[in-house]
Structure 1
Amino acid sequence: MNQRRSNKFAIGVIYFISALVVLILVALIFSILSAGIPNINIHFLTSHSSSFESGGGISDQLFNSFYLLILSMVISIPIALGSAIYLNEFANKKSEIVSLFRSAIEVLSSLPSVVVGLFGFLLFVLKFHFGFSVLSGSIALTFFNLPLLTRSIENSLIAVPDLQREAGLALGLSKWETVTKVILPAAVPSIVTGIVLAAGRVFGEAAALLFTAGQSAPALNWFNWNPFSSTSPLNPMRPAETLAVHIWKVNSEGTMPDAAQISAGSSAVLIIMVLIFNLSARYFGNKLYKKMTSGTEK
Structure 2
Amino acid sequence: MKNATAAAGAFRTKRSLNLINNRLFTAFVWGVSAAIVLFILALLYLILQKGLPSLTWDFILGLPSEIEEGGGIGPALFNSFYMLAISLLIAVPLGMAAGIYLAEFAPDNKLIGFVRICVEGLASVPSIIFGLFGIALFVEMFQIGLTIVGGAISLAFLNLPVMTRVTEESIRAVPQELKQASFALGATHLQTIRRVLIPTAISGLVTGICLIAGRAFGESAVIILTAGVTTSGEMWDFNLLSPGETLAVHLWYVQSEAIVPDAVAISDKAAAVLVFVILLFNIVFRIPLWIKERRSK
Structure 2 CA distance for partners of 1:287 and 1:156, relative to 1, 3 Å:
farther
Structure 2 CA distance for partners of 1:201 and 1:191, relative to 1, 3 Å:
same
Post-superposition offset of 1:289: 4.3
Partner of 2:122: 108
Q: Could you tell me how far apart the structure 2 residues matched to 1:134 and 1:254 are?
A: 22
Q: 1:149 aligns with which of 154, 163, 166?
A: 163
The structure that is helix-richer by fraction is 2
Confirm or deny: 8 A CA contact 2:91 2:156 kept in the other structure: yes
Q: Could you tell me how far apart the structure 1 residues matched to 2:273 and 2:235 are?
A: 23
Q: 1:44 aligns with which of 59, 63, 70?
A: 59
Post-superposition offset of 1:196: 2.7
Letter in 1 for 2:169: N
Q: Could you tell me how far apart the structure 2 residues matched to 1:284 and 1:54 are?
A: 42
> What are the equivalent positions in structure 2 for 1:124-273 lying under 5 Å apart?
124-220=138-234, 222=236, 233-273=237-277
- Equivalent pairs: percent with the same residue? 40
Partner of 1:86: 101
Q: 1:27 aligns with which of 29, 39, 42?
A: 42
Q: Could you tell me how far apart the structure 2 residues matched to 1:108 and 1:183 are?
A: 26
Post-superposition offset of 1:39: 2.7
Partner of 1:230: none
Q: Could you tell me how far apart the structure 1 residues matched to 2:157 and 2:294 are?
A: 33
SS of 2:226's equivalent?
coil
Flag structure 1 segments of 5+ consecutive residues without an equivalent. Answer: 223-232
Q: TM-score, normalised by structure 2?
A: 0.90
Confirm or deny: 8 A CA contact 2:61 2:235 kept in the other structure: no
Asked whether 1:60 is paired with 2:60, we answer no
SS of 2:265's equivalent?
helix
Partner of 1:5: 20
Letter in 1 for 2:239: N
Letter in 2 for 1:122: A
Post-superposition offset of 1:158: 1.9
CA RMSD of aligned residues (A): 1.6
Confirm or deny: 8 A CA contact 2:86 2:152 kept in the other structure: yes
Is the deviation greater in 250-259 or in 164-173? Answer: 164-173
Q: 2:285 aligns with which of 240, 260, 281?
A: 281
Flag structure 2 segments of 5+ consecutive residues without an equivalent. Answer: 1-15
Partner of 1:118: 132
Q: TM-score, normalised by structure 1?
A: 0.89
Confirm or deny: 8 A CA contact 1:60 1:220 kept in the other structure: yes
Larger radius of gyration: 2
Structure 2 CA distance for partners of 1:3 and 1:221, relative to 1, 3 Å:
closer
Q: Could you tell me how far apart the structure 2 residues matched to 1:280 and 1:155 are?
A: 23
Confirm or deny: 8 A CA contact 2:61 2:73 kept in the other structure: yes
SS of 2:45's equivalent?
helix
Post-superposition offset of 1:290: 4.5
Q: 1:73 aligns with which of 77, 81, 88?
A: 88
Post-superposition offset of 1:221: 5.8
Q: Could you tell me how far apart the structure 2 residues matched to 1:155 and 1:18 are?
A: 25
Confirm or deny: 8 A CA contact 1:116 1:208 kept in the other structure: yes
